[in-house]
């Protein structure tokens, strides 16, 4: 089945450690996105990629980094510079950046101890 796979679903890390969240899609979509959701809040855009080997900062990029070396993959690294990393992270994709419909993975819940 086509879809978006995020891993891990749950992750615990100690303060000061970097952690990388995986996002893989087999929908042949050009555009991919990372969002952050805090309890009781809407989603905020961290980074997005319109096409392979290209990515742009979203509204809350500080403390995060991404890469887009393959069309199918858009990993997100939460660095130690991110002051409040505990959150629910959602990866999404769309056919292309201007195509409209957004599809989401199941999310990764990160807890910093």
Partner 1 sequence: GIQVEQSPPDLILQEGANSTLRCNFSDSVNNLQWFHQNPWGQLINLFYIPSGTKQNGRLSATTVATERYSLLYISSSQTTDSGVYFCAVEDAGGTSYGKLTFGQGTILTVHP
Where on the chain is the footprint of partner 1 (CB under 8 A)?
A: 31, 35, 37, 40-45, 48, 50, 58, 88, 90, 92, 97-98, 100-107, 109
Closer Cβ to partner 1, 89 or 112, answer by number:
89
42's CB contacts (< 8 A; 6+ apart) are: none
CB of 90 to partner 1, least distance (A): 7
As given in the structure block, the two tokens for residue 9 are 């679903």
CB of 16 to partner 1, least distance (A): 27
Torsions phi, psi of 52, nearest 5?
A: -55, 145
Within 13 Å, how many C-alpha atoms sit on residue 60's CB side?
Answer: 17
Closer Cβ to partner 1, 19 or 46, answer by number:
46
């Amino acid at each position: 089945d086509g879809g978006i796979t995020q891993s891990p679903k749950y992750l615990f890390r100690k303060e000061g450690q970097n952690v990388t969240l995986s996002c893989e899609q087999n929908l042949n979509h050009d555009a991919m996105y990372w969002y952050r959701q805090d309890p009781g809040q809407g989603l905020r855009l961290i980074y997005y990629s319109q096409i392979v080997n290209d990515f742009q900062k979203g509204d809350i990029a500080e403390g995060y980094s991404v890469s887009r070396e393959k069309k199918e993959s858009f990993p997100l690294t939460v660095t130690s510079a991110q002051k409040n990393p505990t959150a629910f992270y959602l990866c999404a994709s769309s056919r292309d950046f201007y195509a409209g419909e957004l599809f989401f993975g199941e999310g990764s819940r990160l807890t910093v101890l």
